[in-house]
Amino acid sequence: MAPPSSRGAINHGFQLGFGMGIFAANIIYSGTQRRGEAWGSWIPFAVAIPPAFFLMLGALLIPETPISLIQRDKNFHDTVETLQKIRGTPDVLAELNDIMAAGSTPITFSQSLRTMIRRNYWPQLIMAAAIPFFQQVTGFSIVAIYTTSLVRNVGFRENSLLMSATLIGFTSSISTIVLMTVVDRIGRRVMFTVGGIQMLVSLVTVIGSAMAAPLGRSCSYLVLLLFCIYLMGFGWSWGPLGWLVPSEVFQLEIRSAAQSIAAAAWFLFALVIAETFPTTFCHLKVAMLFFFAICIVAMTVFVYLFLPETGGIPLARMDRVWREHWFWKKIVEVEAE
């Protein structure tokens, strides 16, 4: 529903709200636990009721998207009216024509699944699987674990979990706000690259060597600062962009089903990492930092070479970025022939 010129910033409102919600939940949980078992047992659940109510209310009030109305063969007048409403202007003819061309034929979920396995859609499917995978192997989990240890090491022993959650929540929120202000102006690929380099430098040049030896309190402050730099890099690149880009690379005719597959891939890789990470971390310890550093190099190069820029491109015209890409156009053109 967002206009192409500000789709990135609006989409990242999800990531900002998500991060702030986790931050608030950690503070509420920590605060209620101190008041005894009676408080800790029901207050966190009671506090969650108002947000759940507003989510329900929002679901009732939010309008259908124009492409959904077209694909479900609804009244044409309703489509025009909805598009004018969400754009705030009656001049929507150009966008309406694009939507009509992309969604003129009603497509069911099963039809979308059959359509997207065609070679013409392989580039999008590869991105839908690769980006969630790379997001899971950025090393965010190990940084979060080490952050708690470092916070405890610099003097916050009793409140180390709360302080680390506060630190992670604050840096993530600030970096997401920064990303929202620049992502539609400088593009997704640039932020992926900048964030990848920033995380790589943090992990390799100082953090890896510092964590290899016992840390004193002064050194812990330095490493904690570098972790914040890493978290900022993640917060304005692979954190939110890992959700944004898979949501906009698909053509409208397969977008609903394909985006569901992208989300399923994210949860699948998250499950694999969650199940294998603790055991692997116990065996490799600090070496895990360098493993994640190698992954960051691989995914930064992958994005730089193979991800076309999707910023500012209307979803109805997203097929053009693949036909014009130096590598993917070979696959798309073969299918077209």
| Confidence band for 87, pLDDT divided at 50, 70 and 90 | confident
Residue 92 lies in a domain: no
| Confidence band for 302, pLDDT divided at 50, 70 and 90 | very high
pLDDT at 304: 92
Residue 72 lies in a domain: no
Residue 13 lies in a domain: yes
pLDDT at 192: 93
DSSP states along 192-211? HHHHHHHHHHIIIIIIHHHH
What average pLDDT does the chain have? 81
Number of domains in the chain: 1
On whether the CB atoms of residues 307 and 192 are closer than 8 A, the answer is yes
On whether the CB atoms of residues 249 and 332 are closer than 8 A, the answer is no
Residue 174 lies in a domain: yes
Residue 268 lies in a domain: yes
CATH, residue 58: 1.20.1250.20
Q: Could you give the percent of the chain with pLDDT greater than 70?
A: 84
Enter the tokens of residue 103: 């969604």
Among 199-208, 259-268, 280-289, 295-304, which range has the highest average pLDDT? 295-304
In this model, does residue 262 exceed pLDDT 70?
Answer: yes
- A 10 A CB-CB count for 63 gives 14
Q: What is the pLDDT of residues 29-74, one digit of tens each?
A: 777 766 555 555 677 788 888 989 999 999 898 888 887 787 777 6
Range of the domain at 54: 4-62+107-336
Residue 207 lies in a domain: yes
Task: Tell me the three state secondary structure of residue 325.
Answer: coil
What average pLDDT does this structure show over 219-229?
78
- Scanning 202-318, the segments in alpha helix (DSSP H) are 208-211, 217-235, 238-248, 255-284, 287-306
Residue 191 lies in a domain: yes
Q: What beta strand segments (E) does the chain contain?
A: none
What average pLDDT does this structure show over 1-21?
85
What average pLDDT does this structure show over 281-300?
83
Provide the residue type at 266 as one letter: W
Residue 83 lies in a domain: no
